[in-house]
């Protein structure tokens, strides 16, 4: 038979154990929160928009060609200033961007290359990363060079590992990327070329290229 005094002692020990457990849980929670916060500071840091921070007319390392071409002097890559599906007109982009599966985007760029005489293709992950501005967001691109790019996940030419069904995308809002997206999903994409083809002038390319940018039946 347990005496009343013994019950009080047992209850006291139980309460001490409960308080110790609560303190341990609280301490672990605080440590976890601190570690989580440290790891996420860079990712979720509040940044200004590029529209607000990039001075009007500032092209940084880009130089403009004819009919929407912009060459990155740091890499030598020539970009089309509009997303595929839009075309450059009067210093801006007209028309809705295409949203294609990865395979459809490959077919489109192959057809575009054949018609224009220039080797247009999807930009790789590394190429899009090279034009991301780290100090601003929304999208993290120079608005003077890419006037209508929206903050969306865009396809890139890149993939990781050997899984051909998964491709890399990059979020133009802040440059975050992932390489586990199923290629049948439809997304916009950006166009680049390495160098001009000697078989077509810029004027000829513009005349043939812009109709290709419009959706077909």
Q: Do residues 19 and 67 both lie within one domain?
A: no
- Residue 39's SS3 state is helix
Cα 175 to Cα 177: distance, rounded to the nearest angstrom: 6
Distance CA 150, CA 54 (A): 16
Q: Say yes or no: 15 and 89 in one domain.
A: no
Q: Are residues 56 and 103 in the same domain?
A: yes
- 115 and 136 in a single domain? The answer is yes
Tokens describing residue 128: 């899009």
The greatest distance separating any two alpha carbons of the chain, rounded to the nearest whole angstrom, comes to 103
Domain match, 27 and 83 both: no
- Residue 201's H or E segment, with its range, is none
Q: Is the dihedral of CA 141, 142, 145, 147 positive or negative?
A: positive
Cβ atoms of residues 185 and 96 within 8 Å: no
Q: Does one domain contain both 113 and 70?
A: yes
Residues 83 and 33 in one domain: no
Residue 85 exposure: Cα atoms within 13 Å on the Cβ side: 16
DSSP track, 70-125: EEETTT--EEESS-BTBEEETTEEESPPP-B-HHHHHHHHHHHHHHHSS--EEPPH
Cα separations in angstroms, 143 against 14, 73, 120, 131, 149: 64, 17, 22, 11, 8
192, 117: one domain: yes
Q: Does 193 lie in the same domain as 157?
A: yes
Tell me how far apart the alpha carbons of residues 125 and 138 are, in angstroms, rounded to a whole number: 18
Quote the tokens at residue 123: 């930009």
> Same structural domain for residues 36 and 67?
no
In this structure, what CATH number is given to the domain that contains residue 88?
A: 3.10.100
Per-residue pLDDT of the chain (217 residues; tens, 9 = 90+): 545 455 555 665 566 666 666 676 665 555 554 444 444 444 557 899 999 999 999 999 999 998 899 999 999 999 999 999 999 999 999 999 999 999 999 999 999 999 999 999 999 999 999 999 999 999 999 999 999 999 999 999 999 888 999 999 999 999 999 999 999 999 999 999 986 544 443 334 444 444 333 333 3
Q: Which helix (H) or strand (E) holds 142?
A: none
Note the pLDDT of residue 36. Answer: 45
Instruction: Characterise 15 by phi-psi region: left (phi > 0), alpha (psi -120 to 50), beta (else).
Output: alpha
Domain co-membership, 104 together with 208: yes
Tokens representing 73? 């002097």
- pLDDT, position 46: 87
In terms of Cα–Cα distance, which of 154, 110, 115 is closest to 131?
A: 154
| Residues of the domain holding 39 | 1-45
pLDDT at position 161, please? 82
Give the total number of structural domains in the chain: 2
Do 67 and 121 share a domain, yes or no?
A: yes
DSSP class of residue 195? S
The pLDDT score that the predictor gives to residue 40 is 46
């Amino acid at each position: 038979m347990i005496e009343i005094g013994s019950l009080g002692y047992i209850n006291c020990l139980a309460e001490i154990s409960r308080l110790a457990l609560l303190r341990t849980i609280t301490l672990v929670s605080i440590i976890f929160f601190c570690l989580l916060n440290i790891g996420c500071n860079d990712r979720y840091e509040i940044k200004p928009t590029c529209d607000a921070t990039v001075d009007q007319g500032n092209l940084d390392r880009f130089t403009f060609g004819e009919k929407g071409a912009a060459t990155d002097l740091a890499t030598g890559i020539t970009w089309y200033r509009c997303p595929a599906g839009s075309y450059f007109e009067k210093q801006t982009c007209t028309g809705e961007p295409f949203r294609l599966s990865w395979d459809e985007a490959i077919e489109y760029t192959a057809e575009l290359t054949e018609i224009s005489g220039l080797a247009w293709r999807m930009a790789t992950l590394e190429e899009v990363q090279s034009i991301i501005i780290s100090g601003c967001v929304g999208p993290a691109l120079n608005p003077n060079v890419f006037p209508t790019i929206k903050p969306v996940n865009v396809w890139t030419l890149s993939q990781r590992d050997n899984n051909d069904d998964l491709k890399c995308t990059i979020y133009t809002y802040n440059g975050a990327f992932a390489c586990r997206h199923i290629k049948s999903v439809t997304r916009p994409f950006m166009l680049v070329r390495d160098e001009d083809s000697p078989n077509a002038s810029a004027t000829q390319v513009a005349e043939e290229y812009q109709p290709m940018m419009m959706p077909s039946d």
